[in-house]
Structure 1
Amino acid sequence: MGFLYRERAAPSPAVDVVWATVDLTDGTYVASADARWDLVFTLRDGERRVLLSGPSSRPTPVPYTSGSHNLGVRFAAGAYFAHEPVTAWCDRTDRLPLLGRGAFVLAGRAWPFPSLDLDAPDVDVLVAALVESGVVRQDAVVEAALDGGAGRWSSRTVERHFAHAVGISPQRVRRIERAREAVARLQDGRPIADVAFRLGYADQAHLTRDLKRLTGMTPGRTRDRGEPV
């Protein structure tokens, strides 16, 4: 692995995880499909950069450069940016404009560029401001559906909420969630056949096909990969 990785939980229910990396070499990381929004801050040789990524439905090659320091926010299932239709952001990453060295522009407003120290509270304060302003919102139907509570709504209602907040069908999002859980179990040392059985794959070949389509890796390579999902 060509970078050092750390992560932590966040106080906001709109956030899944906050992570930080230091890139030790040049290379390319293959990001798995996640069906989540991501906000990434980068500093290298004094140059700042802010990237906003919409929900991804497929693996994405992400180049990294030696000497870069990165701080990222992976938003929770059901959290979404409301300034543009999600359909315009699926499988898309854009570089956001900067205002000098200390701010960036999102949804027509200026926001402070946070410290890239993972333990600093800056990014949590930023997320709280994004939520309070309505730029980031949460869809309770999507959250409940992924937690097994979809029975409270009709399938049409659930599909409409996924289309609005995620831009990916409920069925594909569940496949993505299952593939990511499979990766976590494989990297925890679980046998491939056991992971396939426990997560409801038809067989080991089914698991292999799904992981290759959604993470870009076979189960064997996933187990030995040594990188975060």
Structure 2
Amino acid sequence: MSFVYDERTSASRYVDVVWHTVDTSDGTYLASADARWDMIFTVGAHGSRVLLSGPSSQPTVVPYVAGNRNLGIRFAPGAYFTHVPVDAMRDRTVALPMPSPDTFVLAGSSWPFPGTDGVLVDARVDALVEALADRGLLARDDVVETALAGDPVPLSTRTVERHFTHTTGMSPRRVRQIARAREAVDRLQRGGGIADVAHALGYADQAHLTRDLKRLTGYTPGQSRDRDEPV
């Protein structure tokens, strides 16, 4: 791995994790499918950058550059941005305008760039997320989270599907496949045996696990187990 990675959980109901990386060389990273919205803040030799990423349904090649410092917000299941249709952002990442090194523009308004390191960054990220939510630009669909958790949802199958497509641009089945593949990689990296992981997560057999991981993460179970990078 050519970058140093760490993450923290967040107290915000809109956020899953906040991660930090420092790129130690030039290269590329293959990011697994992730049916979540993300924001990435970067500071490097050529200035600052803010990226907004929509939910991804397939692996994505992400370049990294030596010396860059990055901060990412991985939003919670069901959290979504309201100012742009999800179909316009699925499997897409856009750079947001930055009128100054300290501000970026989202939905026609300027917002503070939180930075990428330092003791105040976590508090600034939390404040930014809450401000986006207060302005109605960030919302959360509890139906999606409830359904993904396996809890009963008192709605018709078609209504649940509409909630998923509105927030992720994907069907519930696809989102669950992605979540299961990511869980499989996490278990493999923590030492789980391939056959055991396949059985525990309900794959028909090891071949089924291999097909899903290759399609959704870009790696086989064996490669995932030995990969020294986060999912």
Same fold (TM over 0.5): yes
126, 129, 148: which is aligned to 2:128? Answer: 126
Q: How does 1:105-144 map to 2 (within 5 A)?
A: 105-117=105-117, 119-120=119-120, 121-144=123-146
Instruction: Give the TM-score of the pair, scaled to structure 2.
Output: 0.97
Name the SS of the counterpart of 1:99 in structure 2.
coil
Alpha carbons of structure 1 residues 109 and 142: separation in structure 2 relative to 1, 3 Å: same
Kindly, what percent of the aligned residue pairs are identical?
63
Residues 6-56 of structure 1 deviation map (CA, whole Å, 9 limit, x = unaligned) = 100112010000000000000100000010000000000150000000000
Query: Which residue matches 1:149?
Result: 151
Deviation for aligned residue 1:118? 6.4
**What amino acid is the match of 2:66?**
S
Query: Which residue matches 1:175?
Result: 177
Is contact 1:27-1:64 (8 Å) kept?
yes
Deviation for aligned residue 1:150? 4.4
**What amino acid is the match of 2:56?**
S
Query: Which residue matches 2:100?
Result: 100
In structure 2, C-alpha distance between the alignment counterparts of 1:46 and 1:65, rounded to whole Å = 11
Query: Which residue matches 1:70?
Result: 70
Residues 145-179 of structure 1 deviation map (CA, whole Å, 9 limit, x = unaligned) = 10112442110110011111110110000000000
**What amino acid is the match of 2:87?**
T
Instruction: Give the TM-score of the pair, scaled to structure 1.
Output: 0.98
Q: Unpaired runs of 5+ in structure 1? A: none
Please provide the CA RMSD for this pair. Answer: 0.9
Runs of 4+ in 1 over 2 A off after TM superposition: none
In structure 2, C-alpha distance between the alignment counterparts of 1:79 and 1:151, rounded to whole Å = 17
Query: Which residue matches 1:163?
Result: 165
Residues 47-84 of structure 1 deviation map (CA, whole Å, 9 limit, x = unaligned) = 00000000000000001000000000000000000001
In structure 2, C-alpha distance between the alignment counterparts of 1:119 and 1:224, rounded to whole Å = 33
Alpha carbons of structure 1 residues 55 and 118: separation in structure 2 relative to 1, 3 Å: farther
Residues 95-134 of structure 1 deviation map (CA, whole Å, 9 limit, x = unaligned) = 0000111100001110000021265311111111111111
